[in-house]
Amino acid sequence: QQQVKQSPQSLIVQKGGISIINCAYENTAFDYFPWYQQFPGKGPALLIAIRPDVSEKKEGRFTISFNKSAKQFSLHIMDSQPGDSATYFCAAIPPNSGGSNYKLTFGKGTLLTVNP
Amino acid sequence: DAGITQSPRHKVTETGTPVTLRCHQTENHRYMYWYRQDPGHGLRLIHYSYGVKDTDKGEVSDGYSVSRSKTEDFLLTLESATSSQTSVYFCAIRPGTPYTGELFFGEGSRLTVL
């Protein structure tokens, strides 16, 4: 059972455009939603994360928008650059996951290509 | 760098042979994880460890075993490799405290089973 559904699978954007990646979750108990960025040949790395008590978080050109009632969250990349070309994964973590019960559920990923 | 080294980085092997992938960390973190990444499936958890000799199964553990005899090393073993285990394997680590929910990943080990 896939608990985090990510779309689209791939996305092509022109330089300077806005990239939007969407995720929907099923488990209302999730309380932490990170996004990971992965460049070819590298491991994923945390990009930005949000908790459900806020509706939006912005870090530079990257913004997470969170809709708790719809159980959806999205990543917006403003002024997209060729260097942003990577695979992006959304993820979700349930509460009280600091110990051995830590469970990070990933979406299937979105391959973003930003054309120059 | 998160202080994670995976070895080997690339390996080609034949069906039925045993394979061991090694994850070495210099961060002294308590928690270590093995994921596999496949097109269309994203990242899936194979096994994880929450301390020396303490391990548990993830969602795709069949055909894999792990061992952790030292804090710094987490080994993933394929007892008898199959073509379905062709994948890129990632090790990840996480500190126990402070809890941030962040995983730090290695650079991956690409395994091809012929």
Residue of A nearest to B58 (CA): A103
Locate B47 and state its tokens. 């096994």
> Is the link from the previous residue into A40 a cis peptide, with omega within 30 of 0?
no
Contact A89 B43 (CB under 8 A): yes
Q: What is the mean pLDDT of residues A38-56?
A: 92
pLDDT surpasses 60 at A1: no
pLDDT: which is higher, B108 or A100: B108
pLDDT at A26: 85
Gap between the Cα atoms of B78 and B83, Å rounded: 11
Mean pLDDT value across chain A: 91
Give the whole-angstrom CA distance, residue B36 versus residue A102: 17
Q: Do A43 and B92 touch (CB under 8 A)?
A: yes
- CB spacing of A45 vs B105 below 8 angstroms: yes
The tens-digit pLDDT sequence of chain B (114 residues) is 569 999 999 999 999 999 999 999 999 998 999 999 998 889 999 999 999 999 999 989 999 999 999 999 999 999 999 999 999 999 999 877 666 678 999 999 999 999
A107 min Cα distance to partner chain B (Å): 6
Q: Quick one: CA torsion of A4, A5, A10, A15, rounded to 10 degrees?
A: -70
Strands B42-51 and B31-38, by their bridges, are antiparallel
CB contact under 8 A, A102 and B94: yes
- How far, in Å, CA of A112 to CA of A101, rounded? 32
φ/ψ bin of B50: left (φ > 0), alpha (ψ from -120 to 50), beta (otherwise): alpha
